[in-house]
A and B are shown apart, each in its own frame.
Chain A
């Protein structure tokens, strides 16, 4: 699989449900970041988890990182229609560049 590969590619849920997106990466990292992109717009930074962290919370977001499996997950709890967007993980290794995955398209139905 490619660096920063998310699954599922698309996810459709009802408002109030939780949404879980997974990400895998290939090489060792300094941190892993999650971004949201509304259709046709720029990317918005959601959360960064460093390689020595296992879990991080920010509001309704919870991110986990398993460096032994080279994987991360993003959980959005109590989803809202406004959470409808594409979500990307991006790994940052030995340099400053981010390597993005293909993203998960989340649809939250009211």
Chain B
């Protein structure tokens, strides 16, 4: 069964450093997403990406965040200057179309120290 692959599985970074979280969505999917889950809390929407551009973003997704799909297969989330409160599990997901379920990756656990 096709999978969404995320790397790394764990990332520890110093506050203020830049991190790049990587994802390989399912190849024929058209919609791509990033969500995050702070330990024990809700899964929160960050951004959706369609047709090579951001289609929607949440208030969490401020100027410190950016996404790219540099080569038609990878989908990356960059956090420019990490803060302690960015510590969370970050999930990438993709879907074939609207009104279809998402396929989520296993997540990257980001710890900012």
| Residues of chain B at the chain A interface (Cβ within 8 Å) | 4, 31, 33, 35, 41-45, 48, 50, 55-56, 58, 89, 91, 93, 95, 98-107, 109
Please give, as numbers and ranges, the residues of chain B lying within 8 Å of A95 by CB-CB distance: 48, 55-56
B interface majority secondary structure: strand
In addition to A30-B99, A42-B4, A43-B91, 15 A-B residue pairs with Cβ atoms within 8 Å of each other are A33-B101, A33-B102, A43-B102, A43-B104, A45-B101, A45-B104, A88-B43, A95-B55, A96-B55, A98-B45, A98-B102, A99-B45, A100-B35, A100-B42, A100-B44
| Residues of chain A at the chain B interface (Cβ within 8 Å) | 30-31, 33, 35, 40-45, 47-48, 50, 88, 90, 92, 95-103
Please give, as numbers and ranges, the residues of chain A lying within 8 Å of B48 by CB-CB distance: 95-97
Whether A44 contacts B104 in the complex (CB less than 8 A), given A31-B99, A96-B31, A96-B98, comes out as: yes
Please give, as numbers and ranges, the residues of chain A lying within 8 Å of B4 by CB-CB distance: 42
| Distance in Å: Cβ of B37 to nearest Cβ of chain A | 9
Flag if A45 contacts B102 (CB, 8 Å): yes
Report the separation of the CA atoms of residues A97 and B48 in the bound assembly, to the nearest whole angstrom.
7
Report the separation of the CA atoms of residues A41 and B107 in the bound assembly, to the nearest whole angstrom.
7
